[in-house]
Amino acid sequence: MTKPLGFEKPLGMRDYLPDVLAKQRYIEQKVNTCMTRWGYQEILTPTLEYYDTVGDASATLDSKLFKLLDRQGRTLVLRPDVTAPIARVVSSLMKDEPRPLRLMYNTNVFRAQQNEAGRNAEFIQSGVELIGDATVDADAEVIALAVASLKAAGLEEFKIVVGHVDFIEGLLEETLSNEDEREKLKERLHNSDYVGFRQDVETLSISDAEKSRLYGILKLRGGAERLAEAEALTINGRARKAVRNLQQLWLALEAYEVTDSIMFDFNLLSSLDYYTGILFEGYAADQGWPVCGGGRYDRLISQFGIDNPSTGFAIKMDRLVQASPLNPEGAEKKIYIIYDQQTRSEAIRKAQQLRGEAIVVTGTMPPSQPVDEVIDVRGGGVDV
Amino acid sequence: MSKLTVAMPKGRIFEEAVELLRRAGLSIPPEFEESRKLIIPVEEVGMDFILAKPADVPTYVEYGVADIGVVGKDVLLEEERDVYELLDLKISHCRLSVAGLPDWKPTDAPRVATKFPKVASRYFREQGAQVEIIKLNGSIELAPLIGLADRIVDIVSTGRTLKENGLVEMEEIMPITSRLIANRVSYRMKSEAIDFIIDKFATVIPRGVEV
């Protein structure tokens, strides 16, 4: 084993230098203020959790968890997301608080190393959870808040793409009685392998009409007009209910006046059986990966013993910061006071007075960074 | 419509894909193929073409520096990138096969040389066989001839290279064609432009050609 060199850090870990961090904090603050104004209260949960509780409930793949052992030999995980810890809290410490609960967070989460650039193993997530509200209005509120949050971060060109877990499940159930065949097709969709999906459908022993219904799934991506097309593909039951659900969502989103930023994709699937209804992802122009994602998870909290239909989303801050055109404006004046041994007390006193309104640095050497004003209190009044 | 960046592998797939685009009625200038530039803007169709090594095409598309790309199924399987596989272009037909010397006999410690270690090891595992994989970057046919491996997994199109080197095709793993792939975000943010390309391709993809 080679020893790490002095400059190295574990894979996927990153340093935030002042300029980058200033931008990140600035945007976090904009986003968090937006969430707070919608009535979401900040919560903070521990960095370490038990693997058997939070690790198990989390939507993060087991292979991506950072695991360690405590002194009793129990397995711990570094918080892989915040939704699962919040589920734990609302079903224990907050179990008697009246529902719905509106909670927000802005904290770091950990996902084990990927071998490549651009995928951090530790990153800041900012998000909200609306707990104990099963209505479509709750789904709409959370999606509208996602739009508002991305706007607060200054994004101009972005889309929230909305899908529904039950649509694909229901449509496959209606069309295919064989579960293996259904699972195979679902896996194709999970892997975004539309070619393989078509090839598999071709070989099924079902009628051409049924085949064309299945092919139809792949085209259901676009605006509100897709809702009617989706409904036409359904016969009854689960899939149709899912479309109705999305129709109601659309009406609610119209009231929020955010439909310009919304698009439907009936093939949007989550990789794990985590979401139970409406789900969505947010994309910013010129960013290769989603900046946020969320949806309804009605079963997660029941794993902790309480039945609480909930919905929420999380923003990946590093991606949002990359996509955001905002920059922390240099609003505060920077002053540098230069002194010598005789004038030290005077300089420090003056600095304390000025710090009410400005950033003030004192020193005996000339300023090392650009400042708006240099005050020289040295006896001789030597120019710098 | 938004501008698309298209990643294309150099060589045969590129020529056949460009030919397909031309047949679909997109005006791509004739001097296009001769260019040695790596980024070729084609204003007429609102696309920038990036010319890359085949194995890198899915990488460019996954990271979103290219919106769409054309790449062989062999590379897609090997690279395991998170991209949307939208269309089978049914060009650059070939197959992924196991080959070896005609007098090959099962060995205690089978060794397979290949450019596609992930695909090869997955295939042999599915067959219930445990083999050692040796990754090579080219001239795979050499391996059994000089005793580096007893079999190879490689792309076969006409079978001429195998034949000229005294090797025989033993099993076909799967047929391979080129696919149109898209980045997860572009697929939605630039849906109009991507659907336009899909529709164009769909009009000229050879139908009913199965390998």
So what CATH class is A18-323? alpha beta
Collapsed DSSP state (helix, strand, coil) of residue A260: helix
For chain A, counts of helices (H) and of strands (E): 12, 15
Helix intervals (H) in chain A: 18-37, 56-57, 83-90, 136-152, 165-175, 179-190, 194-203, 208-217, 225-233, 237-256, 317-323, 344-354
Q: Based on the domain organization, do B189 and B155 belong to the same domain?
A: no
DSSP secondary structure letter of residue A193:
B
Structure confidence at residue A271 as a pLDDT band (50, 70, 90): low
- Please tell me the distance from the alpha carbon of residue A21 to that of residue A108, in angstroms, as a whole number: 14
pLDDT at B29: 79
Per-residue pLDDT reduced to its tens digit, B93-131? 999 999 999 999 888 889 999 999 999 999 999 999 999
Please check whether residue B163 lies inside any domain of the structure. Answer: yes
pLDDT at B210: 41
- Please tell me the distance from the alpha carbon of residue A161 to that of residue B53, in angstroms, as a whole number: 32
Q: Based on the domain organization, do B87 and B101 belong to the same domain?
A: no
Contact check, Cβ <8 Å, B184/A288: yes
Nearest to A288 among B65, B84, B88 (CB): B65
Give the residue numbers in A contacting B (CB under 8 Å), as ranges.
118, 157, 159, 161, 191-196, 198-199, 221-222, 263, 265, 283-290
Q: Based on the domain organization, do B111 and B55 belong to the same domain?
A: no
- Which range marks the domain in which residue B35 is found? 4-92+177-204
Which residues, other chains included, contact A304 with Cβ-Cβ below 8 Å and sequence gap of 6+? Answer: A53, A57, A87, A88, A91, A92
Provide, rounded to the nearest whole percent, the portion of chain A with pLDDT above 90.
74
Tokens read off for A140: 């709409």
Contact check, Cβ <8 Å, B62/A290: no
Q: Is B84 on the interface with A (CB under 8 A)?
A: yes
Q: Based on the domain organization, do B170 and B121 belong to the same domain?
A: yes
* DSSP line for B81-150: ---EEEEE---S-EEEEEEE-TT----SS-EEEES-HHHHHHHHHHTT---EEEE-SS-TTHHHHTTS-S
Q: Is the pLDDT of residue B172 over 90?
A: yes
Please check whether residue B34 lies inside any domain of the structure. Answer: yes
- Please tell me the distance from the alpha carbon of residue B154 to that of residue B170, in angstroms, as a whole number: 11
Per-residue pLDDT reduced to its tens digit, A161-173? 999 999 998 999 9
Number of domains in chain B: 2
Q: Is the pLDDT of residue A273 over 50?
A: yes
Q: Is B199 on the interface with A (CB under 8 A)?
A: no
Please check whether residue B112 lies inside any domain of the structure. Answer: yes
Q: Based on the domain organization, do B145 and B157 belong to the same domain?
A: yes
Say if residues B178 and B91 touch (Cβ distance below 8 Å): yes
Q: Based on the domain organization, do B12 and B65 belong to the same domain?
A: yes
How much is the mean pLDDT over chain A?
A: 91
Say if residues A167 and A214 touch (Cβ distance below 8 Å): no
Q: What is the pTM of this model?
A: 0.90
Q: How far is A268 from chain B (nearest CA, A)?
A: 10
Please check whether residue B57 lies inside any domain of the structure. Answer: yes
Q: How far is A123 from chain B (nearest CA, A)?
A: 18
The residue-averaged pLDDT of A49-74 equals 89
Q: Based on the domain organization, do B169 and B125 belong to the same domain?
A: yes
Q: Based on the domain organization, do B87 and B149 belong to the same domain?
A: no
Q: What is the distance, to the nearest Å, from the Cα of residue B60 to the centroid of all Cα atoms in its chain?
A: 14
Please check whether residue B44 lies inside any domain of the structure. Answer: yes
- Please tell me the distance from the alpha carbon of residue B143 to that of residue B138, in angstroms, as a whole number: 10
In this predicted model, which residue has the larger pLDDT, A300 or A270? A300
